[in-house]
Amino acid sequence: MAKRKLLIIDDNVQILESLKILLYGEFEILETLRKPDLIPEKLQHQSFDIILMDMNFAVGETSGQEGMYWLQEIMKNDPLAIVILITAFGDIELAVEAMKQGATDFITKPWNPDKLIATLKSGYELRKSRLEVRNLRDKQLQLTSEIDKNFSMFTGSSAGMKRVQETVKKVAGTDANILILGENGTGKEVIAREIHRQSDRAEEVFISVDLAALSESLFESEMFGHVKGAFTDAREDRPGRFEVANGGTLFLDEIGNLSLSIQSKLLQVLQNREVIRVGATQTVPVDIRLISATNKPIHQMISEQTFREDLFFRINTIKIEIPPLRERIPDIPGLTDFFLKEYTRKYEKPFLKINSKALDKLCSYTWPGNIRELKHTMEKSVILCENHTIKPEDLYLSAVIPAHKTSKITHKLTNMEKNAITKVIEECRGNYSMAAKMLGISRTTLYAKIKKYGL
């Protein structure tokens, strides 16, 4: 575990000794300074979790201006610094002003030992949270940089992906909640990251949560956070994903997997834009851009009352449907090249290419696993290929079904849906509300399909 580090700055030797005795054992590294002009050199060579600093240093000085000056210098050096000021009781207004300038808290002389220790501990937890958010932001920027260097999986020349790209461009600059629908492996998180990259929150964190991997017992703790002692393993305060994503984008993948009770709790947070950590009583406001995704038939789930309709409307200001890879044949060559470059670099095979017959084989396959399956196929081919060219026999596919057959099947399914909608509307004598209810879809979806089929 990282050692907790505290720096105390005060020109009074007795105060320094008293604090060292009081805080012995609370911090693994505890250093002191009597002269504030040594602060820049000290911070240049070492960082501290907390800086405890007096506001006056010169003899007879009581204005607190020295403390304000050195506070600003510390914040310039480390904007995430936790500075707790020591002040006389009568200078509380000045201390409050210092907090506006970046100080975290203040204590008054003479201090209460228990309150002082509690204040320092809270400051330490805040420091950890700030560093965690910064690290996540750095990782996000690095990830974005890596994506921008290569062909992005978001791009594509197929009609379906062009529609997705147009929608993303329109909605990215807003804070509208977005629901992404699509089969497994179609790249729902890629779309979510692209929305974040094009948004005003691009410099903030992007937090992705696989809800299918969260058990119901862990959901509240992971998403909303908890305080120390809230349950057996809660050994320290911990922010949830909502708090960590504050200011940025929160991506909730597989939202269709949530139970009704969890859906209710999630809805409350989305409505109020605030969370309550497990074991706490105070609310914490959160400012997030919400993007959700699922591969489940969400409209059918609403009809079957396994997904709350009010939650659906809350997360579904804008809906984006990602077409499966079998409907994106023109995009396969570009995606193949993207993965080929990635894995030839990873496995140090820079001269490995793919010939046209192998590419034709990829384009004729139906890809039940979508882009994820293509990615794994290319990785296996790069690893196992013993020559400088990937040929059809180097591709390991479960079965090759010509794409034109898939198109025929899709066409038949489309006609079946069109005929079913027409029949129900006729039976309901043009009552769209009744027809939508019988079909198990919303009126908005019904209107969209009527427009699509020209009914």
Q: CATH code at 111?
A: 3.40.50.2300
For residues 309 and 337, membership in a common domain is answered with no
Neighbours of 310 (CB within 10 A): 11
What are residue 294's DSSP bridge partners? 181
**DSSP strand pairing (389-390 vs 353-354):** parallel
Q: Which secondary structure element, helix H or strand E, spans residue 210, and what is its range?
A: strand 206-210
In a domain, 138, yes or no: no
For residues 190 and 300, membership in a common domain is answered with yes
CATH number, domain with residue 427: 1.10.10.60
Question: In this structure, what DSSP letter does residue 349 have?
Answer: -
Rounded to 10 deg, the angle between the 113-149 and 188-198 helix axes is 100
Last residue in a domain, options 323, 344, 377: 323
Say if pTM beats, i.e. exceeds, 0.75.
no
For residues 186 and 211, membership in a common domain is answered with yes
Last residue in a domain, options 96, 129, 162: 129
For residues 257 and 159, membership in a common domain is answered with yes
In a domain, 136, yes or no: no
Asked if residues 251 and 291 have their Cβ atoms less than 8 Å apart, the reply is yes
What are residue 53's DSSP bridge partners? 9, 85
For residues 305 and 358, membership in a common domain is answered with no
- Buried b / exposed e along 220-245 (16+ C-beta atoms within 10 A): bbbbbbbbeebeeebeebbbbbbbbb
pLDDT at 319: 96
In a domain, 62, yes or no: yes
pLDDT at 420: 79
For residues 220 and 161, membership in a common domain is answered with yes
Alpha-carbon distance of 338 to 349, in angstroms, equals 15
Alpha-carbon distance of 99 to 237, in angstroms, equals 23
Q: Domain total for the chain?
A: 4
In a domain, 163, yes or no: yes
CATH number, domain with residue 378: 1.10.8.60
For residues 235 and 379, membership in a common domain is answered with no
For residues 318 and 258, membership in a common domain is answered with yes
Last residue in a domain, options 289, 323, 357: 323
Asked if residues 64 and 98 have their Cβ atoms less than 8 Å apart, the reply is yes
In a domain, 295, yes or no: yes
In a domain, 145, yes or no: no
* Burial status of residue 255 (CB atoms within 10 A of its CB: 0-12, 13-18, 19 or more): buried
Nearest 10 degrees: Cα torsion 85, 89, 92, 94: -70
Among 80, 11, 87, 77, smallest CA distance to 42 is for: 77
In a domain, 293, yes or no: yes
Let me know the angle formed at the C-alpha of 54 by 48 and 55, rounded to the nearest 5 degrees. 120
Domain span at 21: 5-129
pLDDT at 5: 92
Asked if residues 162 and 156 have their Cβ atoms less than 8 Å apart, the reply is yes
CATH number, domain with residue 314: 3.40.50.300
For residues 318 and 378, membership in a common domain is answered with no
For residues 100 and 213, membership in a common domain is answered with no
In a domain, 447, yes or no: yes
For residues 168 and 293, membership in a common domain is answered with yes
**Which residue is listed with tokens 């209810």?**
437
The parts of the chain modelled with pLDDT lower than 50 are 1, 149-151, 400-406, 409
Alpha-carbon distance of 148 to 151, in angstroms, equals 7
pLDDT at 152: 54
**Which residue is listed with tokens 């080929």?**
340
DSSP secondary structure string, 89-138?
A: GGGHHHHHHHHHTT--EEEEESPPHHHHHHHHHHHHHHHHHHHHHHHHHH
For residues 314 and 166, membership in a common domain is answered with yes
pLDDT at 404: 47
pLDDT at 67: 85
Nearest 10 degrees: Cα torsion 365, 366, 368, 370: 80
Alpha-carbon distance of 312 to 82, in angstroms, equals 41
